[in-house]
A and B are shown apart, each in its own frame.
Chain A
Amino acid sequence: MTPSGRHILLVEDNLADAKLAMKILNQSAEIERVHHVTDGDQAMNFLNRVDAFVEAPIPDLIILDLNLPRRGGREILKEIKENPRFQQIPVVILTSSDSESDVMACLRLHANAYVTKALDLFQFVEVLHSLEKFWLVSAKLPMKSSQ
């Protein structure tokens, strides 16, 4: 399996969290690059390849924090899932909220997974690795081949 370069879009305003996630994800051989943006507008620009993101690749996985400044994570999720161009990109919600209403709202908006940020670093690592395995290795392969 060649490191053909999986691209992950991480939408996370908390730099510490973002750095943690990137540190963990970057350890993976599957991933070519984790692109980090800090708000919804940037995320949409990235997907639409406008402004600074003209060269941006289509991400293989979007990791979306719910708690974003200005336009919240849910709004971005809705926009992505309603856009035929992006709706096939798996979106994993990564958030510190474990409230049931948040979970339900996201699943209703067709989020592909909902993951709570674990307090323990090692648990977090484990979660991210399993995400990566499922969405980039198992689940992505047929999709990749169809493209």
Chain B
Amino acid sequence: MNIIEFELPAFGRMAASKLRETPQVSDIINSLSQPIIALDRRLHVTAINKAFHEAFFLWTGVRLYLGMNYLEVLPKEVVPERLTFYRRAFSGEGFSLEQDYNLAGEIHTFLVTYDPIYSGGEVIGIIGSAKDITEQKLIEKSLREANLKFENSFRFNSVGMALIEPTGQFLKANATLCKMLGYSEEEMKTKSFPMITHPEDLEKSFDIFQRLVKGELEWAHIEKRYLHKSGKVIQAILSSSFVREEDGTPLYFISVVQDISERKRAEDELLNSERRVVNMMKVAPVGIYQTDVERDCIYVNDRWCELTGLSSQEVTGNSWIKSVYQEDVRDVEQELKRCQESKDVFSLEYRLRKSTGEITWVHGREIPLRDEKGALVGYMGAIQDISKIKEAEKVRERLIYILDATPDIVGIFDIHGKSIYLNEAAREVLGLDADDLDVGQTSWEMYPTWAEELIRNQGIPAASRDGFWKGETSIIHHDGREIPLSQIILAHKNKDGVVEYFSTIGRDMSRQKEFMAELARSNTELEQFAYVASHDLQEPLRMIVSYLQFLDLEYREQLSPEADEYLHFAVNGAKRMSRLIKDLLTYSKVGRSEFKTKSVDCGAILDVVQEQLRTMIQQAEGLVEVGPLPTVNADESQLMRLFQNLMENAIKYRGKISPKVKVSAHQQSGKWVFCVSDNGRGFEMKDVNRIFRLFQRLHDREEYPGSGIGLAIAKSIVERHGGKIWAESKVNEGSNFYFTLSDCMAAEKELVR
């Protein structure tokens, strides 16, 4: 503010009186609301207005009058400072400054102006005026604060904010927006909004822009995509408004930008997860249902419908218990009740029954559903088809029942030798109760040391390798007895060939061992009998024969021809008895003699047999034809005797024509069938069973000598080899004698070779 010039004549010492005398001037001054004071060079008050008077009184409590020495009435503490002001003013400088005054307890800020008063080019006094700017100051302060607030809110807002010129150029962008889009504030100022808008959203953005400028819209909210500096797409919500001056002059856009990329992602995620759940429900191999608090279904998945045979419509609003098989409803309801009370999770195996009558075993589980406050809102449950497991369980139970019934010892062990299962017989031997079954003790304790070593060193390795081992072991009965076993060990492997567990079957051989011993004893006795038969019975026969013959030789002349004939019959009878004894001995030897099987070439055997019977064949003018014969597993000497007996018979019982014998073999259902056929006199088929019996003869002894033991021996040999012998014949046409040998696995290969 500039100096107020008072062009007053003789202003100075006379000024005050003059002011009073010139009422127009003093009235003007007094009417001013601004306090005004004038001081002369001695700092005496030369002029003062009402406003100053009042204000000074409020400040100091002193009333000012014209002519008073101003320094004397000023509060002492301000005097030094005021003196510097006055000196400045007297030096000819006018100036203003703000000063606070305590006016009766109220702080007022004044803009105080000091001006020199000139007269004739000389400073004759100073004039001071003050303007109360307290209110103005307050307004300024609050304005400043408001500005700061806006600035802060703009700068530090968690949403992006920008001021955009009507041209679209960025005027200002806050840190959040800069960070959101990857630019510095300076860089942002070089951008216009189309440059950072996703191309696909440009049109939409322009439209909004236009409408805001035109005033069609006051505010706009749109979802749009921005482009991050890196090219990344930023999903955002833009709120924009166009700011104008009061007179309508366009200023700028205020835009608030909120990054919703995360929210979008979360939304997508949620959508995906919902889709996932829907798909899971579709694909899940379990039936799933959800009910309300009353246990009425509000949702079931496809699998549930499949398992129960009910449609979603049929069950919605109804209890799922209607799908349960009548007999199991009570169990289900009881278990549901129990779980509700005990807060256990419902878990039960029960049956479903479809309207078609089909029964399905399921395992059902159900949990209560609660809201965030913990209040029950319903139930969710799942059912799994366990029919196959149930069926397997049933089969298992049946098998266990059988295993428990067998007198053989059956056990299943893990690879460490711990028992997983022992059947009744095994438990009995070991003195275990059924409850002790899964004691999981190592199985080795039940074996004597030697058997344990045998199983460890041979049984387990062989079973692991071949899947199977058989051997003679023993087990210790709980009463301390050692029980001899014929034991089989099986290795059970998974599909990779790794042994998962072993099982074993053991047969108590105590009785068999006794039988074997008994058999050995009886065989020895039989041997002794055979010796007795061959020697001790032969001796007396020889005496009878020899002395009868002596009698005949030395006393023939003294005997009648009739007596001679008697002697002849007696000798023949004794000889036949001797023959019978010998044949009987031979027959008994077939079943008793050591039976050693090995690979035997039947062709070679036939060569030997033909050689042995050469004389007989030649005498009969016979023809022997031998087809290709296999190599079989048999006792060589017995096989030789078998062919010999059959061929001998074929030649012996020849017809009127010269005998033809044919030996052949063919395969039939894994066995070799041998055939010795002839063109001899044959026999009637009604007698077919008699011919294999001991001492049975179809023909006259005189015509065909022999004791009738050949075929009985043949039968015995074949049966000892596990085969069968039979014959086909037609009288006067010939006979076919067939026999099979069971063990001929090796034979097939041999014949091929």
On whether the beta carbons of A16 and B547 are closer than 8 Å, the reply is: yes
Query: Nearest chain B CB to A25's CB is how many angstroms away?
Result: 14
Question: Which residue from B535, B539, B545, B553 sits with its C-beta under 8 Å from A120?
Answer: B545
User: Is there contact, CB below 8 Å, between B578 and A119?
Assistant: yes
Query: What interface size band does chain A fall in?
Result: 10 to 19
Q: Does A16 contact B534, Cβ atoms closer than 8 Å?
A: no
- Which residues on the A side are within 8 Å of B184 (C-beta)? none
B542 at the interface (CB under 8 A from A): yes
Of B534, B541, B546, B578, the contact of A121 (CB 8 Å cutoff): B546
Chain A residues positioned under 8 Å from B543 (CB to CB): 16-17
A97 part of interface (Cβ distance < 8 Å): yes
Among B534, B539, B542, B547, max chain A CB count under 10 A is at B542
Complex Cα–Cα for A96 and B534 (A):
8
- Which A residues contact B (CB, under 8 angstroms)? 14, 16-17, 20, 23, 67, 96-99, 117-122, 124
Chain A residues whose C-beta falls within 8 Å of the C-beta of B545 in the assembled complex: 119-121
Q: Which residues of B contact A119 (CB under 8 A)?
A: 538, 541-542, 545-546, 574-575, 578
CA distance A121 to B539 in the complex (A): 13
B565 to chain A, nearest CB (A): 18
The answer to whether A20 and B539 touch (CB under 8 A), given A119-B578, A121-B545, is no
Known: A67-B535, A96-B535, A96-B538. 10 other contacts (CB 8 A): A16-B547, A17-B539, A97-B534, A117-B542, A118-B542, A119-B538, A119-B541, A119-B578, A121-B545, A124-B546
- Residues in chain B near residue A122, CB distance under 8 A: 549
What are the 3 A-B residue pairs with the smallest beta carbon separation, nearest first? A121-B549, A121-B546, A16-B543
Binary contact readout B548-584 vs A (1 if CB under 8 angstroms, 0 otherwise): 0110010000000000000000000011001000000
Contact yes or no, A96 B550, CB < 8 A: no
Q: Which residues of B sit under 8 angstroms from A20, Cβ to Cβ?
A: 546-547, 550
B538, B545, B546, B550 — most chain A CB neighbours (10 Å):
B546
With A119-B575, A119-B578 known to touch, is A96 a contact of B542 (CB < 8 Å)?
A: yes
Per-residue A-contact encoding for B529-541, CB less than 8 Å = 1, 0 else = 0010011001101
Minimum CB–CB distance from B537 to chain A (whole Å) comes to 10
Chain B contacts to A: CB under 8 angstroms: 531, 534-535, 538-539, 541-543, 545-547, 549-550, 553, 574-575, 578
Instruction: Kindly report which residue of chain A lies nearest to residue B531, judged by CB atoms.
Output: A99
Chain A residue contacts of B575, Cβ below 8 A? 119-120
Closest CB in chain B relative to A40 CB, distance in Å: 18
A120 to B568, CA, bound (A): 12
Give Cα A117–Cα B539 distance, bound, in whole angstroms.
9
Q: List 22 A-B contacts (CB under 8 A).
A: A20-B550, A67-B535, A96-B535, A96-B538, A96-B542, A97-B534, A97-B535, A98-B534, A99-B534, A117-B542, A118-B542, A119-B545, A119-B546, A119-B574, A119-B575, A119-B578, A120-B545, A120-B549, A120-B575, A121-B546, A121-B553, A122-B549
| B574: chain A residues within 8 A (beta carbon) | 119
Residues of B near A14 (CB, < 8 A) are: 539
Residues of B with C-beta under 8 A to A99 = 531, 534
CA–CA, A118 to B574, complex, Å? 13
Q: How far is the CB of A46 from chain B (nearest CB, A)?
A: 24
Q: In the complex, what residues of B have CB within 8 A of residue A67's CB?
A: 535
Question: A19 CA to B543 CA in the complex, in Å?
Answer: 11
Alpha-carbon distance between A118 and B578 when the two chains are bound, in angstroms: 11
Which A residue's beta carbon lies closest to that of B543?
A16
Q: How far is the CB of A100 from chain B (nearest CB, A)?
A: 12
Q: State in angstroms the CA–CA spacing of A67 and B534 once bound together.
A: 13
A15 to chain B, nearest CB (A): 10
Q: How far is the CB of A142 from chain B (nearest CB, A)?
A: 34
Structural contact, A96 and B553, CB atoms closer than 8 A: no
Q: Nearest Cβ distance between residue A115 and chain B, in whole angstroms?
A: 13
Closest A residue to B550 by beta carbon equals: A121
User: Which of chain A's residues have a CB closer than 8 A to the CB of B547?
Assistant: 16, 20
Instruction: Specify which chain B residues have a CB less than 8 angstroms from the CB of A117 in the assembled complex.
Output: 542
The smallest beta-carbon distance between B738 and chain A, in angstroms, is 33
Residues on the B chain within 8 Å of A118, using CB: 542
Distance in Å: Cβ of A95 to nearest Cβ of chain B: 8
> Which B residue's beta carbon lies closest to that of A116?
B538
CB-CB under 8 A from B546, the residues of chain A are 16, 20, 119-121, 124
Residues of A within 8 A of B542 (CB): 17, 96, 117-119
Point out the residues of chain B lying under 8 angstroms from A124, CB to CB: 546
Q: Which residue of A lies closest to B577 (CB)?
A: A119
A16 to B553, CA, bound (A): 16
Tell me the complex Cα distance, A17–B575, Å. 17
Q: In the assembled complex, how far is the CB of residue B616 from the closest CB belonging to chain A, in whole angstroms?
A: 21
